[in-house]
Amino acid sequence: MHGLTNRGNILQGISSSFNKLVSSLPNGYRVRRSDDIYAVDLFCGAGGLTRGLSEGGINVIAGFDSDELCAYPYETNTPSRFIKADVAELSGRQVARMFPPSGIKLLAGCAPCQPYSPLGRSKLATRRPETALLWHFARIIREVRPHLVMMENVINMKSRAEYLQFKTSLQELRYGISVHEINSHKYGVPQLRKRLVVLASIFGPVELIPPKEEKDGRPFVEDSIKTGLEALSAGEVSRRDPLHRAKGLTPKNIKRIRASRQGGTWHDWPRALQLECHKKKTGNRYVGVYGRMSWSSPAPTITTEFSNLGSGRFGHPEQDRAITPREAALLQSFSTDYDFLQPGIPFSHERVGRWIGNAVPVKVAWALAKSFRRHLDGRK
């Protein structure tokens, strides 16, 4: 009985927030044409998806996330409103009230990917609450019945029961569905980031706009972070940009990064610096950790752990440290002035790393917006 009371209080609080928000939406959200696209971003985080959709011509009304500290970067860098809410506690009716009475409705959702990534595939990971979020996304779609749906996540999700249930739900609702495995690099992101994108429309399958690939294989790391940023040592913070700060390294890891070459592996180190696991036969598989990026190549996938040298090939190409949050944000195609840090809130590598590493690259979101726009133009 006590649990039911708590749930009722939570829902009542969310309803109160909705009432205040709906009554305060600016006049700019009034419908101008019947084919204007209006979006709600579930699991919005710091706003990468919303920023890209907005730049691509979609009116994102609001973003939802259970992390209340996302409010500052989300509302500071996008034209949309932030609502703190657990998607599992939301009703379709509450979400539907966010949309104007006419226009095209888009529901977008990129649930946290860790339970579906290779690093998260374990019995423990399947019990995490996040694995149910895709089910709640499907539930809200059934209750709202938007014209358009967008879902992005890691490619490994395709083998999961949650994904198959999600796709079946869309089929039962008579959506035209298109499934795409994309590499963000082909859409102008200086990073090798492969993702699964599901687009759905009541008007039929949605085609992605074709990627615009550069002949020389760009963009590379040097195109994003080689100029315009202060040189830093491990543990230092930029005097001009508080997001440009390097995590400290132990004396031994300083020796390791100094012994590393661009694009190389820990095989470049003298044996005295190698970890015990590297000396085992099975250790030869882990060549991507403790490595430096290369100026003349795309970055590896930016994960939430990019500040940690040992979590991937996250070493700066020249400076003896791991990349900073600002550099990671640029490699995710956030703008140079994207403001993540709320005044008065202590900095946290873990928190900011989660926002940046989990984000949909802004340029990918822009391409998705243009794909939906072209889809509707073709419908005419």
Query: What tokens were used for 69?
Result: 């500290």
Instruction: Give the long-range contacts of residues 59-65, CB within 8 A, separation 24 or more.
Output: 59/29, 61/25, 61/29, 61/98, 61/99, 62/21, 62/98, 64/40, 64/90
Cβ-Cβ contacts under 8 Å for 378 (sequence gap 6 or more): none
Phi, psi of 239 (to 5 degrees): -80, -20
Give the model's pLDDT for residue 272: 81
Query: What tokens were used for 344?
Result: 């008065």
Burial of 173: CB neighbours in 10 Å, binned 0-12, 13-18, 19+: middle
Give the model's pLDDT for residue 170: 97
Give the model's pLDDT for residue 15: 53
- For residue 354, the SS3 value is helix
- For residue 266, the SS3 value is helix
Give the model's pLDDT for residue 21: 53
**On the CB side of 194, how many CA atoms lie within 13 Å of its CA?**
7
In the chain, the domains with their CATH numbers are 32-210+360-379 (3.40.50.150)
Sign of the Cα torsion 132, 134, 137, 141 reads negative
What would the pLDDT profile of 67-119 be if each residue is shown by its tens digit? 999 999 999 999 999 999 999 999 999 999 999 998 999 999 988 755 544 54
- Stretches where the chain sits below pLDDT 70 are 1-35, 113-131, 276-287, 380
- Quote the distance between the C-alpha of residue 345 and its chain's center: 22
Question: Which positions are annotated as active-site residues?
Answer: 113
Residue 270: cis peptide before it, omega within 30 degrees of 0: no
Q: Kind and range of the H or E element at 352?
A: helix 349-357
